[in-house]
Copies of this chain bind each other. A is one copy, B any other.
């Protein structure tokens, strides 16, 4: 088996440059990197990124337990100043998991930097792995405009569509399936849904698909009972709810229309999120904590395989929610 010296000799580069190229160090020019990878392949060199990382960590005097520095990039929320409870859950679990696995985490609010400045800050801090928070204020297809070459990156949630990164997202299909399963007997199958087609249409369609597939009255009726919250016509909703004698409403979160609570009592609602104030029949915890934890797991295993750059085959991991029926019911 060949070693770094063989590759250095073959390419007429220094051992240090070869080593950096094999670790996809962004300081090495892409053409040099390609040359090194070609020579490594030709000479049958087997790259073990673990050894490299360990040695690099030891050289930096961080001890054998420090494995690297990660970045948590806030896409469009600044958790330092915001009231997004869910984002704080993500932050906490990212830090906790990174610490368990021997990594440190720096946080950045994307809007405070140009993409170029952010990239150079990350490089200067030796960051190779990035977690991108779930976009929450976007409509339609969300893009991240930043050169990610030389970095491993995981995006959280469904909303970011470009670039296509590895991602960890909620299993909305399963959450809706669970809600219908539990509502079925309690409400004799008389179930409607009110949805906010707003943040990620991909995710919303998945919820609707599960509603159509598992509704006890079949897809034709389910289709009539799945309402878009942005196009609600109270009179029409009232007519349909009465016609189908609906007893239970599934919502992605608490609704702000008092008239809806006049039609269906609050304690017949199922929320696919933790309700802040309203009593309900049940709710699904989408598990923001797992989104953060699994994001770190996913990112660090990608880093440890030495896989940087935009992936040619983006992987998707799905977080299952957990169903809760409050004690008071």
Query: Which residues of A approach B to under 8 Å, CB–CB?
Result: 1, 46, 48, 50-51, 53-54, 63-65, 67, 101-102, 171, 173, 205-206, 208-210, 212-214, 218-220, 222-223, 290, 294, 297, 300-301, 304-305, 313-318, 320
Contacts and interface: CB of A to CB of B under 8 A. Distances in A.
13 contacts: A46-B65, A54-B54, A173-B209, A208-B213, A209-B214, A212-B213, A219-B219, A220-B220, A220-B223, A300-B301, A316-B320, A317-B317, A317-B318
Contacts of A220: 219-220, 223
Given A50-B54, A220-B223, A205 B209 contact: no
Contact of A46 (B102, B171, B209, B304): B102
A223 to B, nearest CB: 4
A63 B1 CA distance: 10
B301 A297 contact: yes
B223 A305 contact: no
B317 A101 contact: no
A315 B319 CA distance: 7
Contact of A318 (B300, B316, B320): B316
A179 to B, nearest CB: 14
Contacts of A210: 209
A190 to B, nearest CB: 18
B46 A305 contact: no
Contacts of A223: 218-220
Give the most central of A205, A220, A297: most B CB within 10 Å. A220
Contacts of A50: 50, 53-54, 67, 304
Contact of A209 (B48, B65, B209, B290): B209
Contact of A212 (B51, B219, B304): B219
Contacts of A219: 212, 219-220, 222-223
A210 B290 CA distance: 26
A278 to B, nearest CB: 28
Contacts of A316: 171, 317-318, 320
Given A50-B50, A209-B210, A219-B212, A294 B318 contact: no
A102 B208 CA distance: 44
Nearest to A166: B317
Contacts of A315: 294, 297, 317
A102 B48 contact: yes
A320 B312 CA distance: 12
A297 to B, nearest CB: 7
A213 B218 contact: no
